[in-house]
Structure 1
Amino acid sequence: MKLNKFLKTLGPGILFASTAIGVSHLVQSTRAGAEYGFGLVGFIIAANLFKWPFFEFGSRYAAATGESLIDGYQKISPWFSRLFLGINLLSMFFVNAAVTFVAAGFLQNLLNIELSPSYFYLPSILLLLISFLFLALGRYSLLDSGIKVIGSFMFLSTLLAFFIALYNGPKVPIKDFSIFTELTPQSFPFVIGLMGWMPTAIDASTWNSLWTIARRKQSGYAPTVKESVFEFNFSYWISSALSICFVVLGAFLLFNTGEILPDNNVSFATGVVNLYATQLGSWAFMIIAAAGFSIMLGTCIGAMDGYARSTARVIAVMNKRQEKSADYLVWLTLITLGAMLVIGFFMASFNQLIGLATTISFLIAPIIAILNYKLIFSQHLTKTQQPGNWMRWLSLAGIGFLFLFSLVFIYFNWFK
């Protein structure tokens, strides 16, 4: 692909990757390394691989048709649109609350703010309001520009810390590299949560299709299917590689040391920033603190935009009317208020909120995967626009993978 065409296409994939790097990488991958060493690397790789086709389908469908996946769901069956709306309503408040709560911890760490329990919710409310205003005033254009800067900064700082960690080696020699020996039935809720947002929730595939269309309108350039898919894959696999970097940082610096990452958003953020500062030196503490907060703020904004954009779109499609600007603002408002209520309820338990949000995402993932599969391999795309047979088989394997672990989770939580 020529560089000028790539730059005109570049945006949706970077936005997707930057949104993904938030909780799944900073929180879940780091904790996986700290608590299990390299024991969960296989699950992380599997989640990235088996969920990849369903994310790629978002870019593919938007580039091929000029429409979002949500429009495609309605074409196959109105019931698909209703199902997707139900999934959005089930997850949007918990997901936005979770990412905002994590971001609030990084903000307090960055500014060295200590609050009494009575005011502990204030940073989260502030960030929800900032995200709301950012999107209400700037929409996609400001989101696209800001995320590119934030994502590049976090990418470079993570790679630097990772390579220094490799050079210095682990604090305590890691003797057990087996995927299985560290796992018990009690481990499965965390494993499910880890894969639920690895690299992010599958319903974000609809966001990617909407962002692809928004980028086309912004740049005035309509990329081919090949160009859009390349831009997405480039960003996706960078994001996937970074998840392993975070596992290594957690494993090398915390595994078998007796140190743990706290069940508190502020203390957790401080612990993650300290991981970087340990590798890069104390001089880097403020830089990494700023980078961690920036990427989490980007995740907050991206998630809020994605849910508001997709919910407004599916309701407009279901009602067979033109989408209005006010629709987006209404859902931004409802998401902001709903996330505030969830944070107030789960304020005392950081891990419980993260676990609930990621688990919901994982359990609904097979449904979204099936919707995307049926749409991409339908008559709405020509054979040349559809992926090859190997992607079809990988998609089917991915659906089986997602269903299998959903059943495992249900068994261990409801029948044991």
Structure 2
Amino acid sequence: MSLYKLFNHFISRLGPGLLYAGAAVGVSHLVQSTQAGGMFGFELIIAIIIIHVVKYPFFEFGPRYTAATGQNILHGYMKLGKWAVWLYLLMTIATMFIVQAAITVVTSGLITHIFGLEGLGGHDPQIVAFIISSVLLLFSFTLLVSGHYVLLDKLMKVIILVLTITSVAAVIMLLFDNPGHHKSATVFFSFSDTAHLIFLATFLGWMPAPLDLSVWHSIWSKSKNESDGKITSMKETLFDFRVGYIGTAFLAICFLLLGALVMYGSDETFAPGGAAFAGQLMNMYEQALGPWAYPVVAIAALATMFSTTLTVLDAFPRTISASLELLFPQQIKHRNNERTYLIWLFIIITGTLLILFFYMTSMREMVKIATVIAFVAAPILAILNMQAMFNKSIPDEHRPGKLMLLWCWLGVAALLGCSISYLLL
């Protein structure tokens, strides 16, 4: 078999795992990972590895549940009691506007800088950012209502491929052509520094993603099954998930390396605004490496954030519709789930635009709030996923073993300990 055919076969086996990667690789990577490298050099690479290990079982349980039962993991929550679905639904509704706003403001900031739209129509920068965010959300809305899962699946394969190639190329070039900043301005991470601990919480809150994504992944997996007309095998499901999960870890390290190699020790401070941060990032790459770096980093960054904006905008109404269908089966049947999806998609876009209109000025604060909420909520979702997957209704051959159960309890303990420690800061 030729190399092209092997590659094409490999890509064809991937589906929801790439949607997971598209949603996960975004603010946590482009903004938080880059800042982690710029602030502390290579120190927090170990934090990326540890958090991926800790969260792994809980993310795997989303697609694993669907492969084992043919249903999304919210059905597993329902078996625990309606309270579990209500808890997830309330957490989702409480956070969806700020999460979508944080992602959208970073994406619009990139678009603003890359296409030179800062002074569009002579308007105030905040108005320009709001206009671009509105157009971005409208464009994403059009893509989603015209294609839903099938279109999203195809787009993500292209976006993630472009992102991976450009990111790796940028890191390799930097390793051979390090700008070599003086080290008088370097800072080392300290657990005794409250500011450092707060940054670590925001960094790990969305690394590799908020645990809500495990539910989204499960729902995307069910959508793929419906699209294909069959239930994907456990082996194929786990392969697809692991490619996406390992890929997000790899890309997080790439972005941290980019930040460390370009920003660490450069005496630069990070701008709070989306467009300003994007400009700062792009200009530093260009100054360090030359004009070739600008289009490479621009493509990688824009692909990253657009994929995240699109997949998250799709995920919220999907999960809310699925939750409401379980809670109110008579009122919201599967056949009119499409209408519920569209209603919530409209609600999310409207709420996001309201937040952006009134609070556009600080990207940093918006991201901080969203990531800290995810950090504190992580153990709750971890416990729900674990209880759903180890339920007796799961066939024995698909239920994880004792080693995975131990891994889960250690992970829950770590996440709970971190959340409590943060709340006590």
TM-score (norm 1): 0.93
Give yes or no for the alignment of 1:89 onto 2:102.
Answer: no
Return the alpha-carbon distance in structure 1 between the equivalents of residues 384 and 80 of structure 2.
9
- CA, structure 1 residues 271+177, in 2 after alignment: closer, same or farther (shift >3 Å)? closer
Report what 1:383 is aligned to: 396
Match of 1:198 in 2: 207
Instruction: Decide whether the 8 Å contact of 2:210 with 2:378 is kept in 1.
Output: yes
Work out whether residues 110 and 286 of structure 1, in 8 Å CA contact, stay in contact via their aligned partners in 2.
no
Specify which of 379, 395, 399 is matched with residue 412 of structure 2: 399
Pick the aligned partner of 1:119 from 127, 134, 137: 127
Change (3 A) 1:388 1:274: farther
1:339 and 2:348 are equivalent in the alignment: no
Distance in 2 separating the partners of 1:11 and 1:277: 35
How far apart in 2 are the matches of 1:200 and 1:147?
17
> Which letter does structure 1 place at the counterpart of 2:318?
R
1:269 — aligned with what? 278
In 2: Cα distance, 1:183 partner to 1:15 partner: 38
Residues 281 and 170 of structure 1: CA distance in aligned 2, closer, same or farther (over 3 Å): closer
Is structure 2 residue 338 aligned with structure 1 residue 329?
A: no
Q: Distance in 2 between matches of 1:160 and 1:118?
A: 34
Task: Tell me by how many angstroms 1:182 deviates.
Answer: 7.5
Residues 68 and 213, structure 1, Cα contact 8 Å, conserved in 2? yes
Partner SS state of residue 25, structure 2: helix
Cα distance in structure 2, aligned partners of 1:113 and 1:214: 38
Question: Aligned-pair distance for 1:52?
Answer: 1.3
Worse-superposed segment, 172-181 or 272-281: 172-181
Question: What are the equivalent positions in structure 2 for 1:218-297 lying under 5 Å apart?
Answer: 218-277=227-286, 281-297=290-306
Q: Does 1:110 align with 2:110?
A: no
Which region of structure 1 is more displaced relative to structure 2, 146-155 or 213-222?
A: 213-222
- Structure 1 match to 2:23: 19
1:384 aligned counterpart, secondary structure: helix
Query: 2: CA distance between counterparts of 1:185 and 1:233?
Result: 35
Task: State the distance in 2 between where 1:189 and 1:168 align.
Answer: 33
One-letter amino acid matched to 2:165: L
Instruction: Say whether 1:53 aligns with 2:61.
Output: no
> Quick one: which amino acid aligns to residue 308 of structure 1?
P
Contact 1:39 1:178 in 2 (8 A): no
> Partner residue of 1:42?
46
Contact 1:41 1:247 in 2 (8 A): yes
CA distance in 2, matches of 1:175, 1:221: 60
- In the superposition, relative to structure 1, how do residues 92 and 170 fare at CA in structure 2: closer, same or farther (>3 Å)? same
Shift of 1:10: 1.3
Q: Which residue, 383, 395, 412 being the options, matches 1:370?
A: 383
- Say whether the 8 Å CA contact 2:170–2:293 is kept in structure 1: no
- Answer whether contact 1:63 1:224 (CA < 8 A) is retained: yes
Q: Which AA in structure 2 matches 1:396?
A: W
Q: Does the CA contact (< 8 Å) of 1:13 and 1:233 recur in 2?
A: yes
Q: Which runs of 5+ in 1 are unaligned?
A: none
Name the CA distance, whole Å, in 2 between partners of 1:281 and 1:389. Answer: 53
Distance (Å, rounded) in 1 between the aligned partners of 2:162 and 2:285: 14
Structure 2 gaps of 5+ residues are none
- Alignment partner for residue 70 of structure 1, among 55, 69, 74? 74
| Aligned-residue offset at 1:109 | 1.4
Separation in structure 1 between the aligned mates of residue 193 and residue 92 of structure 2, nearest angstrom: 32
- Identity across matched positions, percent: 34
For the residues of structure 2 that align with 1:143 and 1:159, how far apart are their CA atoms?
24
Q: 2:167 aligns with which of 158, 172, 194?
A: 158
Report if aligned partners of 1:8, 1:219 keep a CA contact under 8 Å in 2. no
* CA distance in 2: counterparts of 1:319 and 1:224, whole angstroms: 30
Structure 2 distance, partners of 1:144, 1:281, is 35
Shift of 1:345: 2.7
Judged with a 3 Å threshold, the aligned counterparts in structure 2 of structure 1 residues 180 and 348 are, in CA distance, closer, same or farther, namely closer
Residue 222 (structure 2) pairs with residue 213 (structure 1) = yes
Matched residue type, 1:119: I
Q: Give the total of aligned pairs.
A: 411
**Which stretch shifts more, 284-293 or 127-136?**
284-293
> Does 27-36 or 130-139 show the bigger shift?
130-139
Asked if 2 retains the 8 angstrom alpha-carbon contact of 1:6 and 1:227, the reply is no
Matched-pair contact (CA < 8 Å) for 1:36–1:182: no
Distance 1:30 1:183, change over 3 A: farther
Task: Indicate if the aligned counterparts of 1:161 and 1:280 stay in contact, CA closer than 8 A.
Answer: no
**Letter aligned with residue 363 of structure 1:** V
Paired residues of 2:270 and 2:277 also in contact (CA < 8 A)? yes
Per-residue deviation at 1:176? 12
Seen in structure 2, the aligned counterparts of structure 1 residues 177 and 372 have a Cα distance that, compared at 3 Å, is: farther
Aligned to 1:282, the other structure's residue is in SS state coil
TM-score, with length taken from structure 2: 0.91
